[in-house]
Chains A and B, each alone.
Chain A
Amino acid sequence: METHQKPPNDRAFLVYNAPGMQSHPDREPRDLLKVLVRNPKEVLVFWEISQQSFQRVLQGLGGSQPQEIGLKLLLKYKHSQGEGQDWYDLHPLSNAYYAKFLEPVSAVRAEVFVTHKGKISLFMETQGGDLPPRGPAKLLDPQWIHPIWRKEGQIQVLADGSAVLEKTPEAWKEYFDAFEGSFEGSSPSSSWGQR
């Protein structure tokens, strides 16, 4: 242990008694763009722009006043039919956006653009992840095909030799196909949330 502890009564600095330590942090923003996957239909994109970068972009676009600047968010992704993209016009002071998708998408990419009087400039981009699927996969491993799937004739072999399961046998649904998503998972560990 590389800490150098003094007895509690000798400590001149107690973190909860120190002024300002529990206040909302006043932190210099840095250039940052992230995509967090929330669920199969939604991601949170958030960003920060450092003061220096903001000034550089402002000057690059020929602007002089911060309020002249606009923001646009572009999300690119893959879906079942190919590739897609969505543009979002954002408030200049915004720093996050929950983006929703109507169908499962993958390889989500986010790009933040700065606009000024009709000019647009890419400011930041990032690679996001895949949104999780909304149900069981149809694709089967040919080495792992359950006899009941064959017996009930639910297997379809595709041209490339791969196998897909068209429908889960009814008797199996209780045990194999269900996700109700309503257990409320983690319970609080102590008196949290009580009274």
Chain B
Amino acid sequence: MLLKEALRVAHLLLLGGNARLYHAKGYLLLMLHAHLPFVRHEGYERSFIEENWLNEAILETYIPMLRVFRNLKSENVPFKITMSFTPTLSLMLVDPYLQDRFRQYLDNLILLAQKETKRTVSDSHLNHLSKKYLDHFEDTKQVFEDLKGNLINGFLPFVESGNLEVITSPATHAFLPFYDSEPSILRSQLRNGRRTFKRIWGREPKGIWLSECGYFPKLEDYLDKEGFRFFFVDSHGITHATPRPMFGVYAPVEVGNGIFAFGRDQESSKQVWSAIDGYPGDLRYREYYRDIGHDLDFEYLKDHLPSSGIRVNTGIKYHRITGKTAFKEWYQPDWAMEACGNHASDFLYNRARQAEWLFKENKQPAIIVSPYDAELFGHWWYEGPQFLEFLFKKMHFDQSVVKPILPLEATRVLPRVQSVKMQMSSWGENGYADVWLNGSNDWIYPHIHALSIEMQAYAHRYQGAKGWQRRVLLQMGRELLLLQSSDWAFIMKTGTMVDYAVRRTNLHINLFLRLKNMLDTGTCEEEVLDGTEAEHNAFPDIQVEDFC
């Protein structure tokens, strides 16, 4: 037994796993998926409130996440985290128009917070909270301007130091299992996903976050052609594979072409995701649904609301969850921080216990994969970024059973990786495609398939086209990619903001048809082409060949 163990250690060292990695009984692969659909609406008198999705995410998630990384780095905590930045999000983060929109959004919030410090002067607790918000907004402005509005530059140092692995996704977050019969959709989504990422992040992505974790057999052939080496699936993507994986989701599997799949650990997911007993539901945490944008007098707020005059969340929230009652108590930041520390301890304790049990059973370290939507941390769960900071600090200072790890390191730390064949799966409700295919949204798929077939035919017919015909063809490609975003189907299913998703879907189809008509009639509608290119300026380096 001792000899066997010694051989295994030697094997690990030969494989590149260093001694420090080997000494852990388990590794936490924390994966945050950062995504927003392309919501850029330049040139309108009445602003689109959907642009606030990006503003809110920058304010509440992306910049707080940067602060966490900086804090960890300054304290020499060796954190490791994987983040997917989808191409649509990356495009928006470097877009000068949207950067200016964020400046306007933040300046408006600073004015509102200043007003709040005066309004609340007679209530010491509320006044304290309003000043905290003002500090937070002003510090956010400082961080944003230090980076000249480009958050990518804030994340890159952590990529270069090896603390952060960034990966991409399909170009517009298309749900790929629906397009297994249309290779041109798969190619154009994957190629533009990789190309956009490389242009913006200055490096090739080693892995990809499959939109909604949507996998289907043979997808690995397309991933291989685009140079991706790993991706993530939900638990049953791994556990239902054939032959049955020996270590379940606690080791990556090879699915063909040397591509690795990582499966979600359910226990750690549940502790954060669960609507019933997940950490974010703790009564001491900030209540998301009580916001002064809805609570205060309209006259007081009106100068700070969008030009359409409708009430929106401002991000200034004074209540804590309190309980399942309409009555909400004031938010107590100290109580929330205490809860956050306890939850980080609990999460780590459970991972350590889990890792020890799995190590005993498997005789090799467990790779515990915990993927979450990045926007859960900070936007939905206000204290989420602080939870992550506590977690990494505790992981480093308080124990040595579990260590953080990045995906390709995980494949090296294990003695060998099993090869399997996986079947279709996703991480949506019920684990398959029900969310993106049902009576509320199934009408979009005949359009997507029909237009994609048309696009492929036109890409062949006009492959060598120049001038306006080439511009038209490329814009047809952009409209098609934007149409394929899984977000529209998701919103239609959730039942809120449906109007926007339907309008976006119709718009991209109609623009595609209008552009196609230009090619059919040999007539360039210059104003239409100019306007569409300017408004839907995603994927500037798209290629006709992507659709062939």
Contact = CB atoms under 8 A, between A and B. Distances in A.
Interface of A: 1-6, 8-9, 11-18, 20-25, 27, 29-30, 32, 34-40, 44, 46, 48, 95-96, 126-133, 135-141, 144-146, 148, 165, 172, 174-195
Question: Sorted from nearest, which 6 A-B pairs have the closest CB atoms?
Answer: A13-B531, A8-B43, A190-B53, A1-B540, A185-B427, A3-B533
Contact-residue size bin, chain B (C-beta under 8 Å from the other chain): 35 or more
Given A139-B244, A179-B235, A183-B273, A39 B433 contact: yes
B446 A95 contact: yes
Contacts of A32: 446, 449-450, 453
Contact of B375 (A34, A96, A187, A195): A187
A186 B289 contact: no
B391 interface: no
Nearest to A11: B531
B258 interface: no
Given A15-B531, A185-B435, A192-B494, A175 B250 contact: yes
Given A181-B430, A188-B494, 17 more contacts: A8-B534, A14-B535, A15-B531, A17-B44, A24-B506, A27-B513, A32-B450, A37-B424, A129-B216, A133-B240, A141-B420, A144-B243, A185-B426, A189-B36, A190-B375, A192-B491, A194-B313
Contact of B509 (A27, A44, A193): A27
B97 to A, nearest CB: 8
A175 B245 CA distance: 13
Main secondary structure of the interface of A (DSSP, over half): loop
B507 interface: yes
A27 B56 contact: no
B294 to A, nearest CB: 7
Interface of B: 35-36, 41-44, 52-54, 56-57, 177-178, 180-181, 212-213, 216-217, 234-236, 239-248, 250, 266-267, 269-270, 273-275, 288-289, 294, 312-313, 354, 357-358, 361-362, 373, 375-376, 379-380, 418-420, 423-435, 437, 442, 445-447, 449-450, 453-454, 470-471, 474-475, 490-491, 494-497, 503, 506-507, 509-511, 513-514, 527-528, 530-537, 540-541
Given A137-B242, A191-B312, A191-B313, A23 B450 contact: no
Instruction: Identify the interface centre among A14, A35, A179, A189: most chain B CB within 10 Å of its CB.
Output: A189
B447 A27 contact: yes
Nearest to A96: B442
B291 to A, nearest CB: 9
B252 to A, nearest CB: 13
A123 to B, nearest CB: 16
Nearest to A22: B503
Contact of B266 (A30, A180, A191, A194): A180
Contacts of A8: 42-43, 534
Given A22-B506, A25-B513, A175-B250, A193 B241 contact: no
Contacts of A190: 36, 52-54, 56-57, 375, 379
A34 B243 contact: no
A128 B181 CA distance: 8
Instruction: Identify the interface centre among A38, A174, A183: most chain B CB within 10 Å of its CB.
Output: A183
